[in-house]
Amino acid sequence: MSHDNNAETAIRDASFGAEEFFQERDGSINIGREAVDRHVEDGHSEQVALLWLGKDGARRELTYGDLKDLSSRFGSVLHDNGLKQGDSVFVLMGRVPELYACALGTLRAGMVFTPLFSAFGPEPIRTRMEIGDANVLVTTASIYKRKVAAWRDQIPSLKLVLIVGDGDVPEGCVALGPALDTASPDFDPVKTKPEDPALIHFTSGTTGKPKGAVHVHNAVIYHAYSGKHALDLQPGSIYWCTADPGWVTGTSYGIIAPLVNRVTMIVDEAEFDLDRWYGTIQREKVEVWYSAPTAIRMMMRAGAEATEPYDFSSLRFLASVGEPLNPEAVVWSEKVFGQPFHDNWWQTETGGIMIANRPGMTVKPGSMGKPMPGINAGIVEREDGTLKELPDNEIGELALRPGWPSMMRAYLHEDARYQKCFVDGWYLSGDLAMRDADGYFWFVGRADDLIKTSGHLIGPFEVESALIEHEAVAEAGVIGIPDETAGEIVKAYVTLNPDYNASDELERAVRGHARKKLGPAVAPREIVFRKTLPKTRSGKIMRRLLKARELGLPEGDISTLETDET
Ligand code: ATP
Ligand code: MG
């Protein structure tokens, strides 16, 4: 099969409950309409769609009717400024209500929405805006002045900069607030076609330079389907996705899936804070909670005692994504929340959840669960330009048969790289995994992170999970370093729980614990203690950076690096 045909299979149809969620209209489908107008038409205009919690304690409710009004006005602002269907709108701001109005208004107007982390530095912002041919930027005056003004003129595609918030509007920019006030609230959703581009998401940059994945309006079918069947989103559910829209989870499951499923979603402007989070769950009676291992490990670090003052009885379903979820974390959450975190696996490229511990499934701690109904996943090995599917219990690359609606349609300006992902009718994820005899998938590591030592293949996740079972260990990042005799040896970087101090004695104790759990061939030969581990802004441990630093190699693209303290 030629590469072209392989990529084409990505847009083959599959129903995924489309008929359940959407009535056939005129062949058009628009995410902005499905997320908002449909519910208003069905009489739910007064239902709270978005419950916003400001950093300073403010609390603001926006109904589906409000979202329709605001997103329509935003569409009008774009239109009045001469922008056209297909143009590209970037947002660069914290989690404020305007961000959500912009997202929905952009989609409504048939333009392409690209969210960026507000904490990015000038260079990562600029390169992404260049790659994405940005026509509009929506940001704050402060971010604009500090990070954008100096090079704005060098982005020829950029026609309009909209400024959110009060205060001075920098030269050459337009204040969004007054523009929304005077814009028309009558702006019908553009009749986009299923394959019209809707979203660009940049990958997290964990393994290298971030790629821009393009998604289309038809993706909403899969967002709706997976929101319902992987996260148990039901009309009226109180739902909290803690991810920032700057990475794909915060848009697919922090904007689109919840709204299409007509939930009331919580948006917290603030960053992680233990008491704030626990207090939010209790006060707002959160039912469905979607978070990430890095946050869960921070909760574990604070101990079960910290949860005691709170009532978590509203919680119905807990899910996690972004990194492997250590079995210890699942067991812990059952103890303190009365519910396991349900791990699920997907990527920026897949646009939606592919493998999941779905509601009602038995959770095997440490497993990502099973492929979603309708998703065909396999474990494969490359062999002379073709792929061989591996039997159960063998480690290979996790691959998917393309065909679901939220699959990426391109890597922006990187066609060769895109084509390379498709071989023999499979999409290759770049992750290594294993399927057990019950059909559960187990994450092993990124293909790049696999450690080869004395004839063994070791995935860092297994070693990290064993390490964090030690009472002193909060987080661990494991890499292989070259060794003359063994090929590679396993080295671990570890952060400690409060009340533990780094010492040779503790190092020996942790190493001894790992040897007992994993055996001498797999346990780390060396453990070093660190205050923090290098992570992406979406909270993933950057093992490639641990390795580059260990070996004195170039650090590569570090535009998404969050903590950098060693
Ligand atoms: P880049 O592609 O730029 O290196 P990235 O792969 O981290 O960055 P994302 O698309 O945000 O960018 O993340 C998807 C990856 O995150 C997956 O390929 C996988 O490696 C990891 N991941 C996501 N969910 C899980 C999970 N439940 N278990 C294990 N790994 C996960
Ligand atoms: Mg990736």
Asked which of 413, 447, 481 is the last residue of a domain, the reply is 447
pLDDT-flagged residues of the chain (< 50)? 1-13, 564-566
Same domain, 489 and 515: yes
State the pairing for strand pair 48-53/264-268.
Answer: parallel
Q: In a 3-state reduction of DSSP, which class is residue 290?
A: strand
Centre of ligand 2 from the C-alpha of residue 448, in Å: 11
CATH number at residue 429: 2.30.38.10
pLDDT digits (tens, 9 = 90+) for 208-227: 888 999 999 999 999 999 99
Ligand 1 atom index nearest CA of 202: 3
Asked which of 429, 447, 465 is the last residue of a domain, the reply is 447
CA-based torsion, 330, 333, 335, 338: positive or negative: negative
> Looking at the 3D structure of the chain, how many domains does it have?
2
Residue 206 lies in a domain: no
Q: Is 540 in the pocket of ligand 1 (CB under 6 A)?
A: yes
pLDDT of residue 8: 39
Residue 32 lies in a domain: no
Closest CA to 559 of 156, 167, 261, 246: 246
User: Is the Cβ–Cβ distance between 245 and 103 less than 8 Å?
Assistant: yes
Who contacts 533 (Cβ-Cβ below 8 Å, separation ≥6)?
475, 476, 477, 493, 495, 541, 542, 546, 563
* AA identity, residue 122: P
Centre of ligand 2 from the C-alpha of residue 363, in Å: 25
Asked which of 420, 447, 474 is the last residue of a domain, the reply is 447
Percentage of the chain beyond pLDDT 90 is: 88
| Ligand (nearest to CA of 296) | 1
Residue 544 lies in a domain: yes
Q: Is 348 in the pocket of ligand 1 (CB under 6 A)?
A: yes
Q: Which residues on neighbouring strands pair with residue 212, listed in sequence order?
A: 202
Pairwise CA distance, residues 17 & 140, whole Å: 39
Q: Could you tell me the residue range of the domain that residue 557 belongs to?
A: 451-563
pLDDT digits (tens, 9 = 90+) for 274-311: 999 999 999 999 999 999 999 999 999 999 999 999 99
Centre of ligand 2 from the C-alpha of residue 499, in Å: 36
Compute φ and ψ for 265, nearest 5 degrees.
-105, 145
Closest CA to 354 of 402, 394, 396: 402
Ligand 1 atom index nearest CA of 446: 20
Residue 418 lies in a domain: yes
